[in-house]
């Protein structure tokens, strides 16, 4: 079994200013990992990173993940700050909740581009170097919605489902080079993306009833699973989707 390189590791976390991405950036930095974080709001991301009391270094970069065609230029900019990326966390994404008949073409394309195309483009650009070094970790942030379905989530759920499929394809492709590719599928989590559901008592209770634990997750609980999959402790796990959903998938 080949372990992580004996040097400071570098992780790229998309959507790292808050929520699951922010919690993941923090826990990785607590392990002494240098984190390159992305956000549409660069100053907000920089403020968040500076507030963490963690030993690992950071680089805050502004990048609109829905504009995946600019991935190469973005990565070139990111790599000017570090020697390479060892861990890739594809977390960023966006989308509009709507019934299918009300879904606009641009809503559909935004969901696919921000959740799937951006992750694909980053993997295509960064994973070959991981293969050359003989070690790497990719963790994609999916959703329990991709596995169980939910009303008004056609674009989001389909995009997340495609991301989980991409996870399996790349896991098989890169396994011989000691690069693992896994995903987590969070249940209801208190993030900005879910704020409207949390603030609605009826919707909040509906989500709680769907979980065996009867509660929402904190972003740190999802980040802990991501951290594990990005570590040497998960060296024989690849192509898997780990449901971190409070028992939603068990009911």
Q: Average pLDDT, stretch 103-129?
A: 94
- Map residue 101 onto helix, strand or coil: helix
Q: What percent of the chain has pLDDT over 70?
A: 99
The mean of the pLDDT values for the chain is 93
Q: Average pLDDT, stretch 123-142?
A: 97
Token pair belonging to 144? 């329990």
Q: Average pLDDT, stretch 38-63?
A: 89
pLDDT confidence tier of residue 2, bands split at 50, 70 and 90? confident
**C-alpha gyration radius of the chain:** 17
Task: List the catalytic residue out of 52, 156, 174, 236.
Answer: 156
Nearest to 62 by CA among 88, 36, 86: 36
Is the per-residue pLDDT at 1 higher than 70? no
Provide the residue ranges of all domains of the chain, joining segments of one domain with +.
Answer: 10-245
Token pair belonging to 22? 């922010």
Largest CA-CA distance found in the chain, in angstroms, rounded: 53
Would you say 246 and 187 are in contact if contact means Cβ atoms under 8 Å apart? Answer: yes
pLDDT confidence tier of residue 54, bands split at 50, 70 and 90? confident
Sequence-ordered list of residues with C-beta below 8 angstroms from that of 40, at least 6 positions apart, any chain: 62, 63, 64, 65
Would you say 54 and 29 are in contact if contact means Cβ atoms under 8 Å apart? Answer: yes
Q: What is the pLDDT of residue 102?
A: 83
Q: Clarify whether 52 is annotated catalytic.
A: no
Quickly name the fold that domain 10-245 has. Rossmann fold (3.40.50)
Is the per-residue pLDDT at 26 higher than 70? yes
Q: What is the pLDDT of residue 194?
A: 80
Cα(215)–Cα(237) distance, rounded to whole angstroms?
28
């Amino acid at each position: 079994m080949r372990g992580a390189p004996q040097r400071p590791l570098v992780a790229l976390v998309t959507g790292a200013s808050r929520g699951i991405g922010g919690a993941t950036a923090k826990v990785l930095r607590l392990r002494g990992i240098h984190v390159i974080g992305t956000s549409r709001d660069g100053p907000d991301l920089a403020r968040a990173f500076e507030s963490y009391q963690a030993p690992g270094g950071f680089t805050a970069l502004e990048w609109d993940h829905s504009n995946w065609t600019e991935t190469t230029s973005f990565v070139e900019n990111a790599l000017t700050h570090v020697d390479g990326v060892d861990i890739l966390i594809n977390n960023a994404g966006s989308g509009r909740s709507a019934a299918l008949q009300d879904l606009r073409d641009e809503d559909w394309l935004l969901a696919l581009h921000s959740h799937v195309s951006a992750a694909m483009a980053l993997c295509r650009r960064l994973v070959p170097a991981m293969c050359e070094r003989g070690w790497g970790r990719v963790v994609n942030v999916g959703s329990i919605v991709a596995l169980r379905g939910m009303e008004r989530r056609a674009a989001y759920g389909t995009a997340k489902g495609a991301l989980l499929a991409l996870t399996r394809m790349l896991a098989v492709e890169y396994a011989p080079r000691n690069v693992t590719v896994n995903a987590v599928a969070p249940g209801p989590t208190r993030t900005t993306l879910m704020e409207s559901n949390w603030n609605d008592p009826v919707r909040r209770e509906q989500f709680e009833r769907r979980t065996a634990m009867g509660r929402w997750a904190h972003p740190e609980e999802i980040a802990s699973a991501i951290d594990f999959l990005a570590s040497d402790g998960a060296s024989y796990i690849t192509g898997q989707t780990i449901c971190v959903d409070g028992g939603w998938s068990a009911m």
